[in-house]
Structure 1
Amino acid sequence: MKVFKFGGASVNSVDRIKQVAHIVDQHKDSPLVIIISAMGKTTNALEKVAEAFYAGAQQQALDLFNVIKNQHLTTAKYLLVTHFNECLSQLTDLFTEVEWLLHDKPVRNFDYYYDQVVCIGELLSTSIISHYLQEAGIANEWLDVRDLIRTDNHFRNANIDWAITTEKILQATEDAGAPVITQGFIGSTDENESTTLGREGSDYTAAVFANILDAESLTIWKDVEGVMNADPKQFPDAQLLQSISFTEVIEMAYYGAQVIHPKTIKPLQNKGIPLYVKCFLDPSLAGTVISNKHAKNLPPIIVLKENQALMHLHSQDFSFVGEQPMSNLYKIFAQLNITPNLLQTGAVSLQLCLDDHSDKIEQLAAAAGATFDVSVEKGLTLLTIRHYKAGQAAEMTAGKTPLLIQQTQETVQVLFR
C-alpha cells in the first residue's frame, strides 16, 4: 500500500489535473490511497464566503460562493464528456450543502461556520478528479473522508479520535480493488458536523492514512523539485536535499522553513514509514526522501523570516527575572497561542522575537505589562542557519545591525534590522 498526496498547486488547472491522472495511471495496479487538496486558491475564496456570512452579508456570501461554483463547473466541463452528468449531480449535492447553510443566520461561533463552509473545497476537487480518472479509464473509489476521520469539536484545529478513525479507515479500504480517492484537511464529529485539522491538515491526513494502513511509503507531490536547503525565491542557488531525517525536517519547520509540518512527521516516524517529496511536473526527478536515517554532510540550511518584532521586557522594580515571572509569561504564551522565535534572558530583562501579528503583539504587551515595562521594535528579519560554516552568518548580515545573536554547535540565529 502506498499513499499519495496532491496539494492545491497540483490540481489548479486542467493541464495539471491531467498530469495527476498520468502519475496515478503509472501506479493504478498497486494498492493506492490518494489524498487531494482543494484546487488552487479555493480555500482562501471559501474563507471569504464564511467571513461574509458571519458578518451578516448573506447576499455577498452567496455571490462569492457562486463564483466558486462556476469555477468548478467550468473545470468539470473542460475535463469531462461521458461522466459530466454524473459529476454534475455530485457537485450539485455538495453546492447545496453550503447554500443551505448560507441561507440561514449565524447562531454559533465563527470557527464552526468556517469548517462547514471551507471543507467543501476538498470535496469538490476530489469529485471532479475522481470522475475524470474514471473517464480516462482509471477505475477508482471516491470516499468522503468525513465518514472516516472522527474528530472532537475543536473546530478549525480538530483532534483525531484514533481508535474510531482506525476502525473506519480499515473497514473502508480493506476490499478496495482500485485506487481510493479522498480528501485531506477535513473530518467530522460524532454528530456529523464537519471539522478541519488546522495548518497543513492535508499532509497530516495523508500521514494518518499511511500510519493506519501500515503503508510502504507516503509521497507528497509538489510543484518543486523536492526539499531545498533554502527558499529558491530568496536564494536562487538553493540546493536540493536528496535525503534528510525526520528530526532534521522538524528542526527546519521549527525555525520557519516552509517544508513539512511536524504533526505530519509523527505518524510516519512512529512506524518508520518513509516520506518522499517529489515534483509532479517531472515525476522522473528523484526528489527528497525523509526517513529515520540520519543524513550526513548536509549543506547549510538557511531560513530567512521577515516581518519580525522584538519585544523588550524589563522588570518594573528591578527584581530578577526568575521562575515566577517566567512561569507567568509562558502561561500568557499558551493563552494567546504564541510561540516566540527567539528568547533571550538577562538578570532583570528579557527579549522576545515574534512574528509580527499586530493583534497578538498588542495582547501580549498588555498582558505582560502587569509585570514588565514593555517596548516593541518592528520591521526586523530573523536569519537561521543550521549546519553553518564559520563566518557565514556575519557574511550574510554584513551592513545590517544585529540585535540578537544565539549560537549552538548546530545552529546560529541572528535577528537584525
Structure 2
Amino acid sequence: MNVLKFGGTSVSSIESLSNILNIIKNYQCRTNEPLLLVVSALKGVTDNLNTIFRLVSRKDEEYLKHLEEIKQYHSRFINDIFQGRESLISKNTFTSIEENLEKCLKELCFKEKVNKKDKDSILGFGEIFSAHIVTEFLKLNGHEFFFLDSKKLIVTNNNYGNAKINMSLTRKKVKDFFKKNTKNYVVTGYIGATEENIPTTLGRGGSDLTATILGSILESNTVIKWTDVNGILTADPRFISNTYSLKEITFNELINISKFGSNILIHPNALLKELFAKRIDILIKNTFDIEFPGTRIRNYSDHSDKVISINENSSIVLFEGNWMISKEIVKEILHQNFLIFRIKLNALDQKNKIY
C-alpha cells in the first residue's frame, strides 16, 4: 500500500489539487495497489483554530469573527474547486462539520476553565475539513476515494497537544482495518484518540507522523511527502547562496540537521528508527514540480554532497590548531544543547585559547 502525505500548501489551491490528480494518475498507471493520502489542514487553518481557542479560553466573543473567517475560507475554496458541482451529500457533510465545531466552541464558552484536552478537540477540525474536501474533489474527477478519520486508527496516550503513539494498539487497529478494507482513502493527519476515544493531536508537523506510522505498519516501500519545495536543499537559501537539492541523505543525517535547526519536513517523533529497521525510504517531492526527483531519505547513502543546518541560536565554530577535548566534555555539551565560550584574539600569547 502506497502512503502519500500532502502538507497544507499542497491541498490549498486549485493548482495543487490538479497536480494531486496527476500524481494519482501516475501511480495508478504503474500499480494496482491502494493509495493512502494523508492530508494536513488547509494553509493557515490550524493557526486560526489556535487563535479561536485562545479567545474562547478568555470568554472573548471575538472568536466568532475568526470562526466566520474559517467558514468563509472553506466556503470560497469549495466554490472555487467544485464550481457548484459538489453533491448534496458533500454540502451536508461540510455543513455538519461547521455545526459540530460551533457546538464545541459554545460548550467551551460555558466551561469555567478549559484545558489542553479541550484544545485538542478543536484543533483537529482543520484536518477533518481538508480530508473531506480532497475526498470529494477526487471523486468529482473520477477517482474513487473514501474519507478516513485517523482517530479510528491512531491510539495515543493523554498527553494532549503532543500525544505519544501507543504502537501496539495502533498496529492492531491499522492491520485489522486494512485487512478488511483495500480501497483508496484520504486520511486525516495530525490527530488521534485515546483508548477512551477522546481526540488528541500529535504536535506540530503531526501529519508527517501519521504518514510514517501508516507506512511503517503497512510496510510500504516508500513514504512520500509532497510539499512545496524541491526536496532537501544543501542549506537554507535565506542564509547560503547557490544551494541545490540533494539527491539523497541518510536517516542519521536527517536527525542531525533537524537537531541543529532545520525545520525539514519530518515530525521529530516520526518513527525514523522503525522505518530504518524496515528499510522503508522517505521521499520528499514538490507538489508544484512533480517531475523533479526530490530527495530520498534512506538507510545509507554513497552520495558525497551534504547539508548544512543553521540555527539562529547556535553556530558551529571551526578552530585551527590541535585541540585535546575529552569525550566527557563533548558529551556534556551535546547533553546541554549549548556551549558558552569566549575567545581572546588580541594578545598573541592568548591566541587560540578558549575559556
| TM-score, normalised with respect to structure 2 | 0.84
Partner of 2:69: 67
Match for 2:203 among 183, 198, 202?
198
Partner of 1:234: 239
Match for 2:249 among 244, 248, 253?
244
Match for 2:338 among 336, 342, 347?
342
CA distance in 2, matches of 1:208, 1:20: 22
CA distance in 1, matches of 2:313, 2:304: 31
CA distance in 1, matches of 2:113, 2:198: 13
- The count of aligned residue pairs is 321
2:37 pairs with 1:31: no
Counterpart amino acid of 2:63? A
Q: For 1:119-138, list aligned pairs within 5 A.
A: 119-138=124-143
- C-alpha deviation, 1:262, in angstroms: 3.6
- C-alpha deviation, 1:175, in angstroms: 3.9
CA distance in 2, matches of 1:76, 1:405: 61
Counterpart amino acid of 1:170? K
Counterpart amino acid of 1:185? Y
Partner of 2:218: 213
CA distance in 2, matches of 1:141, 1:167: 21
- C-alpha deviation, 1:107, in angstroms: 4.2
CA distance in 2, matches of 1:10, 1:24: 14
2:296 pairs with 1:293: no
Shift of the 82–170 alpha-carbon distance from structure 1 to 2, 3 Å rule, reads farther
Counterpart amino acid of 1:162? M
CA contact (8 A) 1:225 1:278 kept: yes
CA contact (8 A) 1:62 1:99 kept: no
Q: For 1:74-223, list aligned pairs within 5 A.
A: 74-80=76-82, 81-104=84-107, 105-223=110-228
Greater displacement, 287-296 / 247-256: 287-296
Name the one with the larger strand percent: 1
Partner of 1:275: 282
Shift of the 405–212 alpha-carbon distance from structure 1 to 2, 3 Å rule, reads farther
- C-alpha deviation, 1:172, in angstroms: 2.3
Partner of 2:348: none
CA distance in 2, matches of 1:68, 1:227: 32
CA distance in 1, matches of 2:336, 2:244: 28
Greater displacement, 226-235 / 175-184: 175-184
CA distance in 2, matches of 1:124, 1:20: 17
Shift of the 26–296 alpha-carbon distance from structure 1 to 2, 3 Å rule, reads closer
CA contact (8 A) 1:250 1:261 kept: no
CA contact (8 A) 2:234 2:308 kept: yes
CA distance in 2, matches of 1:195, 1:304: 32
- C-alpha deviation, 1:295, in angstroms: 3.5
- C-alpha deviation, 1:343, in angstroms: 2.8
- C-alpha deviation, 1:113, in angstroms: 2.2
- C-alpha deviation, 1:308, in angstroms: 6.4
Mark the runs of 5 or more structure 2 residues left unpaired by the alignment: 316-327, 343-352
CA distance in 1, matches of 2:89, 2:238: 42
Shift of the 292–107 alpha-carbon distance from structure 1 to 2, 3 Å rule, reads farther
Shift of the 405–290 alpha-carbon distance from structure 1 to 2, 3 Å rule, reads farther
Greater displacement, 69-78 / 244-253: 69-78
2:26 pairs with 1:8: no
CA distance in 1, matches of 2:102, 2:273: 37
CA contact (8 A) 2:206 2:267 kept: no
Partner of 1:302: 308
* % identical aligned pairs: 29
CA distance in 2, matches of 1:109, 1:230: 42
CA distance in 1, matches of 2:336, 2:101: 38
SS at match of 1:303: coil
- C-alpha deviation, 1:340, in angstroms: 5.1
Counterpart amino acid of 2:269? K
SS at match of 1:306: coil
CA distance in 2, matches of 1:86, 1:234: 49
CA distance in 2, matches of 1:253, 1:271: 22
CA contact (8 A) 2:4 2:36 kept: yes
What is the alpha-carbon root mean square deviation over aligned residues? 2.5
* Cα deviation code 1:117-165 (max 9, x no counterpart): 1110001001011001000000012111111111111100111111221
Counterpart amino acid of 2:166? D
Q: For 1:309-388, list aligned pairs within 5 A.
A: 341-343=337-339
* Cα deviation code 1:192-227 (max 9, x no counterpart): 221101132111110000111011110001111111
* Cα deviation code 1:350-391 (max 9, x no counterpart): x69xxxxxxxxxxxxxxxxxxxxxxxxxxxxxxxxxxxxxxx
Partner of 1:225: 230
Shift of the 405–53 alpha-carbon distance from structure 1 to 2, 3 Å rule, reads farther
SS at match of 1:187: strand
Counterpart amino acid of 1:257? S
CA distance in 2, matches of 1:291, 1:151: 27
| TM-score, normalised with respect to structure 1 | 0.72
SS at match of 1:263: coil
Shift of the 307–143 alpha-carbon distance from structure 1 to 2, 3 Å rule, reads same
SS at match of 2:308: strand
